[in-house]
Structure 1
Amino acid sequence: MMLPSYLHFAIRKKVLAIFIVLLIISAYLGFAPALPVPINDKVCHFFVFFLLTLVFYWVFDLSRRRATQLTILVCGVFGGLGSEFVQSFLTYRTFDLFDIVANLLGCSLALLLNILYHKRRLEKIRLQRYGHVPTIADDLEMQASAAEEEEEGEEDVSKSTP
């Protein structure tokens, strides 16, 4: 059976291994009866979900849009919201709305950094592949033709108004 083309993607195995290790550590921290060290719970939530999101974004070799969507779904919805939902059923843990806020803030910051880096990386690859693509500011002929088009547009507007 052939899979649709949008389901063909590569998995970065080293990044996946790092993500799994982080996931195990975060599951221990999230579902253990008490933290082994005294640390602010919200700071811990923020950094755990920041790291998970930072790493998960790069597990699959996807376009920026698809990686963003998948990361939001997995880390934000299933991880950030789901972990607190599961904690509400544990007798030794409690549901806390501020934990969800910390989770989502950590996810959001990591996602923003990933998107910006991914965009910059793609621009760098395009620049290496195709060289410098001139813009209107770089090309005098393009500036002249743009100015002519603008003047023609102004003349058309002045003719149509009495």
Structure 2
Amino acid sequence: MPSWLVLDKFQNSRVLPALIWTVLLLIAMLSPGDKFPSTPQIPHKDKIVHFMLFFILNFLWLRIWMNEANSKKKYLKLFTSYLVFGIIIAILVEYLQLYVPNRSFDYFDIAANMLGAAFGIICFYILYKMDSKLV
């Protein structure tokens, strides 16, 4: 079995939240637009939601694999991988919305998704260096 598939007990407890969040994000992003309840009008609410969804997504996935990185080179590779992961998912989900009723493709949503992914990585790194219990 490849070493990246073998998780110790500590990491196993972190997989479930990341998987659940990923599934919920995909359900929310790929559900027809008319299925959501009406909410108060807040300027740029949609972009804020996109940002937060992808912020949390990358943060949760980084929690799983960070203990595997034990050198500066591995840290850089891990963060780069998650940034690419966030960018690919951000674009893919937005593209798939073209085929969902009452949803649309929006470059600004992609930007909010990518910014959320990047800030999730940055926030994780800061908390990790501070030895926070959140990571």
Considering the TM-score relative to the shorter chain, is it more than 0.5?
yes
Task: List runs of 5+ in structure 1 lacking aligned partners.
Answer: 122-162
Secondary structure at 2:104's aligned position in 1?
A: coil
Structure 1 residue 104: deviation in Å? 1.0
Contact 1:53 1:71 in 2 (8 A): yes
Greater gyration radius: 1
1:38 is aligned to 39
Matches within 5 A, 1:26-65: 26-34=25-33, 35-38=36-39, 40-60=45-65, 61-63=67-69, 64-65=75-76
Matched residue pairs, number? 117
> Where does the alignment leave 5 or more consecutive residues of structure 2 unmatched?
70-74
3-state SS of 2:63 partner: coil
Normalized against structure 2, the TM-score is what?
A: 0.73
Identity within the alignment, %: 21
| SS of residue in 2 equivalent to 1:57 | helix
Q: Are the equivalent residues in 2 in contact too, given 1:43–1:102 (CA < 8 A)? A: yes
Residue 108 of structure 1: aligned partner:
118
Question: What are the residue-to-residue correspondences of 1:98-137 with 2, within 5 Å?
Answer: 98-121=108-131
User: Counterpart in 2 of 1:152?
Assistant: none
Does residue 78 (structure 1) correspond to residue 58 (structure 2)? The answer is no
Q: Provide the residue aligned with 2:19 in structure 1.
A: 20
